[in-house]
Each structure stands twice: as C-alpha cells, then as structure tokens.
Amino acid sequence: MNQENKVNGNSKNKQLDPFRSDDRDKHLTTNQGLKVSEDEFSLKVGSRGPTLMEDFHFREKMTHFDHERIPERVVHARGYGAHGEFELYESMKPYTKAKFLQNPGTKVPVFTRISTVAGSKGSFDIPRDVRGFATKFYTEEGNFDLVGNNMPVFFIQDAIKFPDFIHAVKPEPDTGYPQAASAHDTFWDFIANNQESAHMVMWLMSDRAIPRSLRMMEGFGVHTFRFVNDEGKAHFVKFHWKPKLGIHSAVWDEAQKINGKNPDFNRQDIHESIENGDYPEWELGVQIVPEEDEFKFDFDVLDPTKIWPEEDVPVKIIGKMTLNRNVDNVFAETEQVAFHPGSVVPGIDFSNDPLLQGRLFSYTDTQLIRLGGPNFHELPINRPVCPFHNNQRDGYGRQTINIGKSSYHNNSIANNTPSPASVEEGGYEHYQEKVEGRKIQARSESFKDHFSQATMFWNSMSDVEKQHIQDAFSFELGMVNNKHIRQQVVDMIAHIHLGLAQKVADNVGVQQPLTGGSDVSKSSPALSQMNTIYKPDTLKIAVVLDEGFNDLEVETVIQGLKEHQTYPTVISSKLGRIKGENGMELEATATFDTGDPVLFDALYVVGGKNSSKDFTKKTSYMVQETFKHFKPIGATGKGINILRENGITEEPGVITGDQVGNFITTFIDAVAAQRHWNRNV
Ligand code: HDE
C-alpha cells in the first residue's frame, strides 16, 4: 500500500529512502552488478556431470545464504517494529533543555520495537512474560532511546544479577525447555532466593503479562532518569506510555490457545492495524520529582523495584506517539535496530539506579556480537537524522568514507576539528552531581523493603484481577517439580498477602504458611486495569452464518458494527460466498478451522435457515469458548436458538435482539466493555 503520504516531512523516512531497493521489474544480477542469465541450474560438465567451482554466481548466492543469520538478542529476541512520530503537547522547558521537548507541536520521527523477553525469536506471541517497549526518537540533537518495558518495575536491583536472572528464566540448560515460559523450576528457584523480585512477580502474575494487543498496553521507562534544564537544575523523572485504547489483556486459557492457533497473533494485529490506518497511539507521561524531595518517600527513588504511585506523583501527559508505518524489511529494520538506554540528548541524564548504571554498559557490548562490529550505528535504521562527526575509524563493514588525513584530536592539520561543542553550542554535559563515598559492594539499606509495594499492588487489584493472580501463581508453581521450591515461593508470598499464599499453597500441594501477612493497607487505583479506557474501536468480531441467513438483518448489523470502528469477519463452514434468504451474498473469509473464537474479541451468531448439525455443533463450540473467556456475544434470528441451546441467553454480555437498531447499540456497548466478568462460568 502507498504509505508515502503518511510520512511526508518525516526526516527519518527521507533518510531511509535511498537505502530502499525495489527489485521488481529488474534484471537479476550478481552483487557485482553482472546480469545473470541462469538462476535454476548450476554450471555442470554435461547435464548429468559434476558442478564446477567456476560457477561464481552459484558460489556467491550460496555463500550469502549460508551467512544470512545473526545471533538473536540474548533477551527480547522476538520483536515487532514500526515507524512513527512523536508530537509534543506541552513544553517541558522548566525541567529539561531537550530540544524536542521545548515547543508544543514539535514532531520527531520515532521507531518502536515491542518484544517478549524470554522466548527465542521463533517462539509465540502471548507467553506469560514482560513486554519490551523500546522507542528511538530521532531528534535534531541525536538519538534518544527510551528502552522500557510494559511493567514499571524490575526483578532485580543491581545489574550484576542480570545474567543470573536471565539464566534462570531461559530454558533449563540440561533439557533445553521450556521455551518462552517462566513456569519452571529454575525461574522460581531464582525468585525464592532473590526476594527483591517480589513486586515484579506480582506484575508478572497479573493480567499485564498477557496483553491482548500490543496496542493496548502501557510502557514505562522503569528507572528514574533526570531532566536538566538550561539553568543546569535537575529534576528526577519517570517516563510512562499510556495507550489511547486502554489496557486490555487476554485470559490465560485463551492466551495459551492463541499461541497454538496463531503464534503471531499480537504482531499480526498491530501490523494490520497500521495497514488499515488504525494507527496505534500512546501518550507520553512524565512523573517529576524535584531533587530536594529525593528522600521524602518511604522508598528509594533509585530503586527499580519501586513505583512512584500515580496518586502521590501525578503523571503529566506531555505528548503523543503514533505508529504509522510498518517496516519494509523486518531484518533490515526490526532486527538490526540497536537500542541503548545510554543514547540521550542534552537535558536528559541518568540517575544512580544501579540497574540503569549497569545497562549503560551492556547495550553497546551486546550489539558488538549481535551486529558483528563497531559500525552498527551506520546501519540505516540506527543512523541519527542529524550529522555525526568524530575520529572513530575503520572496523568491519565500515560505510562512511572519511576524507582528509586527520583522525585524531588535538590536531592542527584540520584546524583541530571535529571539535567538541560548548554547552551553548549544544555539547552534552553530564549533570554535575556531587557524589562521595567509599567503594563498597552492598545493597543500600533503603533498598531492603521488598514487600510493601508488592502488597500495595495486590491491594489495588479488583477481585477478578486478584483471582487471576492467584490462578497464575497456582499454574506457574504447579509446573515446578521441586516441592521445596514451591514451598519457598509460597512462604515468600506470605509476606505479600497471607490469604493469597494459603490458597496457592493448597493448590500446589505444599504447607499453608501460618504466619506472615502485611500491614500495608495502601492501594493505588491507577494500577488496576479495570479503571482503564473502554472503546469498541478496532475490535474484531466473528460473524457466524450459514446458507439462508437473514440477509437484510445481517447487512444492517454488519454496517452498524463497521460504523463503530469494529472489524466484522464472516465465518462459515467453508470459504467463499454464502447466500442469504433474499439472495444477498456475503463472503466468508474464515472457516471454523481457521477462525477460532480465541482470535476474536466478540462473537455475533446469525446461523442460517436450515443449518446442518455440524454447523450448529461448531457454532456452539464458538459460543462456549467466547463465553468462557468472558467476551461479548450477540445473536439475532436463528442465532438466538443456538445461544438458547447453550443455555446462556440471560448471562451478562450476551445480547439477543429482534429489533436490529436496539441490538446494534446494546451489542456495541457490550463489545466496548470487552470482558463480562460476572458470568456464571
Ligand atoms: Fe535490557 N537488554 N537489560 N532491560 N532490554 C537488552 O540489548 C540488560 C532491562 C530492554 O527491542 C539487550 O540489544 C541488562 C530493563 C528492552 O532491541 C541487552 C539489564 C529494561 C530490550 C540487555 C537489563 C530493559 C532490551 C539484549 C539489567 C526495562 C529490547 C539485546 C541491568 C527498563 C530492545 C539488546 C530491542 C534488550 C541488557 C534490564 C528493556 C543484553 C544488563 C530494566 C526493551 O543489552
């Protein structure tokens, strides 16, 4: 599709254009530009003889193929990337001198990559896992990378533990499984023995870990950063991405099934949304704390296992990111993009969070092996849109042709250029924080409360969310073979909430802890997904119908659904045209085989005049699954009979109607609500 118009004026897009290559309607050549006359048969001695080494085209083609793979990311291997733009709503001038945050209306190009963490590149889209949420802002002062996650805290407090943590969550070394799962012994053994993870584990067991759509999840910078203004004054800042469509998750049974039915479910959803022009949008929020208030909280602002509750430090919305262009080539863009939390611009600086400090080392280091050398910044996707000049030279794959003799500083033969810029000229100056202390290896006393915010998270959940957390712990620990580990984890949960620990203990066959509990009564309503935005926009509705369906009615309903920005898909026993009772035809684009109910957000049952037993049986399966996952169900005409046979007509979120007009309105309301938790399931 022609996306050119959408990105007019986007400097990154213009920069990428000369690198794009359209091979259509061209002759086939070697990499040396030689036209090739034969691409199916290698050069042989006679048609049945041996292949000749002389066949340079064969050798070049095969050699290139042999080298096509690069190491996958050691974490966050499976990702989806897209281009877009960020627009500033509100000036941050009082807090930061970052140029792209000065004037409302300023737009900068961005590239965002969203990922799962533990699974390999070829794993599936909805494991129970954290999602990476990394955005590269191509600003006129250089690239700013906000390399965050969809959860605002982390498992560990110090970067030195990261290799241990990742070893524990990855497939176990002696078996090579499980893939993309935390439900196994080594992960929970790590958690039980590194209890700083308590808060993060609550997030991981919550619905946040199974987003229904990547367009419907939050993002967080996690660490505390610093904004520095043009007077050199600093404020602590935390970054948030808030999705315009609200935060919505799958339920666990559904997620597991989606992973089998369509392992690419999340990536396909966001890809198609962008192709359809339903551009995903997130607003950027900041929480700002003056440096003087550093010690005013009952947690340490440097501790990455803590949030700043939004009710205490409000999130100020300052801009919006819109993703509006899919990549042309997944390898060149999504795979080769290299993020680094250390890519900052003047006005944005770091805090002493020991997790962040360690990350500042790791990201360049990992690109060196992953992208094969020090010139990965020259790859088109990674280039800043502003010029860059320095005395770095050579290395594998070097593309820049630096001219002149001098590649050192200081010099006289090039007038001592390239020369450092003063702060006034835009040179980056590290914030001059005064730091004193002994060199020690220890955890700060202020980092030692691992449980209060974990309990606050629990307190903030609705009953349904609490039930999901309890179920998730029970599932995960249920997959742990070692009873001792199960017991240890349950004893740990007791410090968060005794009742939860006792229920999980019962479910996983270990002793109920009798002591523990927490006296934390604080809650933060912003943590509950229930308090989110509800809209029907972009939701996918399965419309199940058979030959002889009531076409006049269905046509009106489908039209109504489309008017509310939803996407109806007609499903039937076979693909192709299905005829209605008045001769009107509708195209079935999925069958019961390909259109499993877990792939849709809602179901509209139409049925047909004389439906076969098989049709009714398969529709009933769709009804049952959709019902069980708390999703909206609507029915008109013969479809109502099928709901009746399934005994669910009176249940919440199940809408039946003879009056088409009323039906559409009530059904759309039910669709917007997305899940109807008070069902008798
Ligand atoms: Fe990362 N992380 N990380 N991480 N991380 C990587 O860099 C690392 C952490 C995050 O789409 C790696 O290029 C250490 C927190 C994202 O390309 C690697 C520590 C947060 C991505 C690495 C952390 C993140 C990565 C692997 C502990 C949220 C994917 C490939 C100190 C704030 C970016 C790569 C993309 C990727 C190291 C912890 C986010 C190895 C050492 C906390 C979104 O460098």
| Ligand 1 atom closest to the CA of 304, numbered from 1 | 42
Contact 15, 382 (CB under 8 A): no
Domain boundary, last residue among 360, 382, 404: 382
334 and 368 in a common domain? yes
Q: What is the rounded CA–CA span in Å between residue 536 and residue 634?
A: 14
Residue ranges in the chain whose pLDDT is less than 50: 1-7
DSSP 285-308: EEEEEEGGGTTSSSS-TT-TT---
The structure tokens listed for 255 are 């997620």
d(CA 352, CA 224): 8
Judged by DSSP in three states, 621 sits in helix
Q: In whole angstroms, what is the distance from residue 181 CA to residue 176 CA?
A: 12
DSSP 335-351: IT----TT---TTEEE-
CA of 132 to the centre of ligand 1 (A): 8
Q: Please give the residue range of the domain that contains residue 509.
A: 451-530
Q: From the CA of 363, how far away is ligand 1's center (Å)?
A: 7
Residues 517 and 543 in one domain: no
H or E element at residue 332: none
Tell whether ligand 1 has an atom less than 6 A from the beta carbon of residue 357: no
Regarding whether 513 and 615 lie in a shared domain, the answer is no
Q: Which residue, 427, 425, 426, 381, is CA-closest to 109? A: 381
Judge whether 185 lies within some domain: yes
Tell me whether residue 680 is in a domain: no
Tell which atom from ligand 1 comes closest to the C-alpha of 163. Answer: 41
* pTM for the whole structure: 0.97
Please give the DSSP secondary-structure letter assigned to residue 188.
Answer: H
User: What is the rounded distance in angstroms from the CA atom of residue 36 to the CA atom of residue 58?
Assistant: 11
Q: Which residues contact 184 (CB under 8 A, 6 or more apart)?
A: 172, 177, 178, 479, 480
* Claim to verify: residue 140 and residue 200 sit in the same structural domain: yes
Decide: 148 in ligand 1 pocket, CB within 6 A.
yes
Ligand 1 atom index nearest CA of 159: 31
Expressed in angstroms and rounded, the spacing between residue 474 Cα and the centre of ligand 1 is 29
pLDDT of residue 658: 76
Question: Are residues 338 and 270 both part of a single domain?
Answer: yes
CATH (domain of 543) = 3.40.50.880
Active-site residue set? 76, 149
Query: How far, in Å, from the CA of 159 to the mean position of ligand 1?
Result: 11
Residue nearest to atom 6 of ligand 1 (CA): 75
Whether residue 187 lies inside any domain: the answer is: yes
The reply to whether ligand 1 has any atom less than 6 angstroms from the CB of 159 is yes
Place of tokens 């098989």: 614
Query: What tokens were used for 48?
Result: 């049945």
Rounded to the nearest integer, the mean pLDDT of the chain is 97
What is the 413 CA–ligand 1 centroid distance (Å)? 42
Which one-letter DSSP state was computed for residue 111? Answer: E
74 lines ligand 1 (CB under 6 A): yes
Which residues lie below 8 Å from residue 56, measured CB to CB, with a gap of 6+? 30
Ligand 1 pocket: which of 70, 72, 73, 199 to mutate (most atoms within 8 A of CB): 73
Q: Which atom of ligand 1 is nearest to the CA of 77?
A: 30
What's the pLDDT at 9? 62
Residue 457 sits in the same domain as residue 496: yes
Nearest alpha carbon, ligand 1 atom 27: 159
Q: Is 359 touching ligand 1 by the criterion CB < 6 Å?
A: yes
Binding residue per annotation — 359? yes
115 in ligand 1 pocket by Cβ < 6 Å?
yes
Q: Specify whether 298 is located in the same domain as 245.
A: yes
Total of domains in the chain: 3
CA of residue 234 to ligand 1 center, whole Å: 26
Q: Are 289 and 373 in the same domain?
A: yes
Atom of ligand 1 nearest to the CA of 133: 43
Element (H, E) at 79: strand 79-88
355: in domain: yes
CATH number at residue 320: 2.40.180.10
C-alpha distances in Å from residue 544, one per residue of 561, 573, 618: 14, 9, 10
Asked if residue 370 belongs to a known ligand binding site, the reply is: yes
Q: Is 147 in the pocket of ligand 1 (CB under 6 A)?
A: yes
**Is residue 577 annotated as involved in ligand binding?**
no
Last residue of a domain, one of 367, 382, 397: 382
413 Cβ contact list (under 8 Å, min separation 6) = 404, 405, 406
Q: Quick one: pLDDT at residue 660?
A: 80
Q: Is 99 among the domain residues?
A: yes
Q: How far is the CA of 360 from the centre of ligand 1 (A)?
A: 10
One domain for residues 210 and 334: yes
Q: Is 134 in the pocket of ligand 1 (CB under 6 A)?
A: yes
Tell me which residue has its CA closest to atom 39 in ligand 1. 148
pLDDT in tens, 209-241: 999 999 999 999 999 999 999 999 999 999 999
Single out the residue in 364, 382, 400 at which a domain terminates: 382
